[in-house]
Amino acid sequence: MMRWILASVALLLASGGELAAQGKGIRLWNLTTSTISGFELSPAGKNSFGPNQTLNDKDKEVDHDERLRITGVEPGRYDAKVSYPDKRQCFVRNIEIKADAVFSIADKDLKDCKK
């Protein structure tokens, strides 16, 4: 019985250590003046955008000064397609994304905006 308890404790500690090692993941910090309703990433220069990352948020939007967990993306350089509830869409080019780090976008980063 004591072996079973010790084995269970060791397993819990090991899995907890793995979670701690994973960190907080990659996060976007919305410093634009508007709520974002769509955020898609493509490897820089490839124009091959992935899924809408705002679907990772509980209300499916990213308010000004809110952070969003980014999933399914490896560290590297990316272009982003940013969409807004008013149907405006902009691009942010050559974003550097690092592991377990926050990257931000602001109004000054937005390019090629169209409605």
B/e letters for 14-34, b = 16+ CB within 10 Å, e = fewer, are eeeeeeeeeeeebbbebebeb
pLDDT at residue 47, as a whole number: 95
Please give the angle made by the CA atoms of 98, 36 and 93, to the nearest 5 degrees.
Answer: 45
pLDDT at residue 21, as a whole number: 46
pLDDT at residue 94, as a whole number: 97
Instruction: For the chain, give the percent of residues with pLDDT over 70.
Output: 81
Residue 46: how many other CB atoms lie within 10 Å: 9
- Please name every residue paired with 97 in a beta bridge, in sequence order, or none if there are none: 76
109 Rama sector, left if φ>0, alpha if ψ -120 to 50, beta otherwise: alpha
pTM of the model: 0.79
Q: Decide if pLDDT at 110 tops 50.
A: yes
Read off the pLDDT of residues 81-105 as tens digits, 9 standing for 90 and up. 999 999 999 999 999 999 999 999 9
Read off the pLDDT of residues 33-65 as tens digits, 9 standing for 90 and up. 999 999 999 999 999 999 999 999 999 999 999
Query: Which residue is listed with tokens 């490896």?
Result: 74
Domains along the chain?
24-114 (2.60.40)
